[in-house]
Amino acid sequence: MGPAWLRRWSNRGMVFGTAAVLTVVGAWIAHSLPQRNPFPQTHSVKRDLTHKSAQPLTTKVLTASTDGGTMRVTFHGRRMLTDVPHRRGHHERWNAIVVGRPERLTYERVRGYDGTMYLFRPVDASTHPVPVVVYFHGGSLMTGDAVIHPGPKYRKEWVMAEIERSLVQRGFAFVSVNYRLAPKYKWPDQIDDATASIRFLKANAAKLGINPLAVSVVGDSAGGALASLVGVTGGDTHPEPVFDEGPFVKESSRVRAVVDMFGPVDRSYYAMKWGERHGAKPTPAFGVLTARLVQSASAVSYVRPGDPCFLIIQGLQDTVDPPELSLEMYDRLREDGDRARIILIHHSTHEFIPKGGTLQPSTAQIVRDIVTFLVRNGVPQPHPRRIVRVDRLSITANG
């Protein structure tokens, strides 16, 4: 048992040790529980923090999105759902390459959903109105948002940030669009939002200082499919609008140029792969796949003469959206006399991820090609002037 003084100090040690343990446990619980927001709460939404490139479950917070879904936070391997306060304009973490300050605009309100976009004005806005390029993000129509997030150099985020920077520095406005996401919202809500964003910009062109005749679109993966569908379904080449649902229906959703980066422009491949794995089970984005639905969701179904010019970017090692899809789109466009160019990237899988070697051409060269294409084709060119001769008089006329 030992002396009395030793027993007294042992008991004190147990008390102090127990208190220390309780203090640590209490601090961990307090850290894990949602904290009271010390700032005024101006808006509250639920956000989806899942992402296919998320870190292992030991990461506390995964990638954020502003799609209006549910926030998912992982604490030490456990996933929990919670609402988070959202102060507009203060939650976004943009890629450091991006130039300018984003202006958040609401382009539609439909069935409780606020469709938002971010507008970046050109560095030199001395010339008005300015051309604009509209970006649709990827994510299988289920994840992602309009924020161009930080990411590894020469990957998708870097590419989009470089495109934004180059265009804004060349006198273009740049817009990045949020759209409704599955599974909460089913197709065709996503393409309806895409076309609605174009009509909003045209309807408010004078107020925003943009040229309604100089609107182009760019997208990657699922966003590339949306950009392609906007390109081939808007304008005068169709007897009636295909996806022009929502506000400003009197405005045209026609665009001047389209950049499609590895987009699933033919959904029959997706339907085949889904059927092999899940049979007749409904898909998260499209519901039950039917032949008519697959055709209506495929950009290749709408190609016809008079479509805007296309630039298609495709990795040859892409197994998510294989090169056969982009080549089919390119062939259809060329067969109908539309202007189209395709860049096939050696050693590139989906989203510029290398496999088996260095990307050829490099992503830096691809950015330059995309920007050059948009600068050349995104602005209406003046009609060539010709000489009309009547007897001995020379009359200058617009062609």
* DSSP bridge pairs for 369: none
Helix (H) and strand (E) counts in the chain: 9, 14
Task: Print the SS3 string covering 247-289.
Answer: CCCCCCCCCCEEEEECCCCCHHHHHHHHHHHHCCCCECCCECC
Query: What sign has the CA pseudo-torsion 251, 255, 259, 263?
Result: positive
Enter the tokens of residue 245.
């649902």
**CA nearest to 164, candidates 175, 155, 151:** 175
Domains assigned to the chain: 40-91 (no CATH), 103-377 (3.40.50.1820)
Q: Concatenated DSSP letters for 134-161? A: EEE--STTTS--SS-----TTSHHHHHH
Q: Which residue has the tokens 């055709």?
A: 295
51 class by beta-carbon count within 10 Å (0-12 exposed, 13-18 middle, 19+ buried):
middle
Q: How many residues does the chain have?
A: 399
Per-residue pLDDT tens digits for 280-302: 999 999 999 999 999 999 999 99
Determine the pLDDT at residue 87. 35
Pairing of strands 257-261, 210-220: parallel
Enter the tokens of residue 111.
């069935």
Give the Å distances, CA to CA, from 329 to 179, 238, 253, 333. Answer: 24, 18, 20, 6
Decide: helix, strand or coil at residue 226: helix
**CA nearest to 137, candidates 68, 223, 51:** 223
Determine the pLDDT at residue 213. 96
pTM of the entire predicted model: 0.74
Query: Under the phi-then-psi rule, with left for phi > 0, alpha for psi from -120 to 50, and beta for the rest, what region is 77?
Result: left
Vertex 126 angle, CA 125 and 132, to 5°: 40
Q: 166 with 366: CB under 8 angstroms?
A: no
Per-residue pLDDT tens digits for 331-379: 999 999 999 999 999 999 999 999 999 999 999 999 999 999 999 999 9
Determine the pLDDT at residue 53. 33
Q: 244 with 212: CB under 8 angstroms?
A: no
Which residues of the chain fall below pLDDT 70? 1-91, 125-126, 235-241, 382-399
